[in-house]
Structure 1
């Protein structure tokens, strides 16, 4: 991997709105590289602060324009192929149902496995749900953000279902 060519390809992807990549995405971007060459090249790009690896296997182009949805883009990459939606404290705070604003944490329900990931931009908390796909689609809606958003009733139900602290909820809002 030649640094100049890598930067050129990453800039082109950035212009198309591609900021966050999995290793398998980068294998397609650099098909001429063997797995060992790609790994070494990615390490150099990280060391030279062209790429950032916020979570194992996820890479972010440092020079891409950052928006407020970067954590959500990382979630989409982490749980690609799963249904994910913003819920729990993140959604309830947005609706004003709880008074605390989780500024450094994004809480997401996912059909994938649960996990907590520390990134340079905040903590991602993924909580597994057994809900059916149809139930998820009925209980969420699209916004301008990359992930679907839980309705207020769904976020409250999720909070109770996973056994989280409900003492912060303003029951008048509910």
Structure 2
């Protein structure tokens, strides 16, 4: 998580407009929270209801920030004139929104509501859940493709845009 957080902070230094700057502030906050969450996950203890609710909120916030990050990369690509990369990041954003944020976000919100209501929430997809696993790899693979595509395209235009 430290590598991802460091990379997010470096990407936030680009000037791609006010919406990029604001969104990257949200993404940086989520990256720092995710780093602390990863550290916290190394310790075994019984999380109380308040901590459990906070961790659920952080999980949902990280899902939203992931979609925002993809959107920011699209804005950055558009600002730098990387049209192919911008189109790729658009698809990546859509994939993360519909495959991660909507279904898993709803699970987070349902879990949070049940915790606030004092009841438990358990979700068991059963064997059918195994069939969904490959679907969850699609946005991740596309993220790596978009990242590689943007890197290659930026390297080809780096002198024109003053990219170090």
- Structure with the larger strand share: 1
* Range into which the TM-score falls when normalised by the shorter chain: under 0.3
Q: Using CA pairs below 8 Å that are at least 6 residues apart, which structure has the higher relative contact order?
A: 2
Q: Greater share of helix residues, 1 or 2?
A: 2
Normalised TM-score (structure 2): 0.27
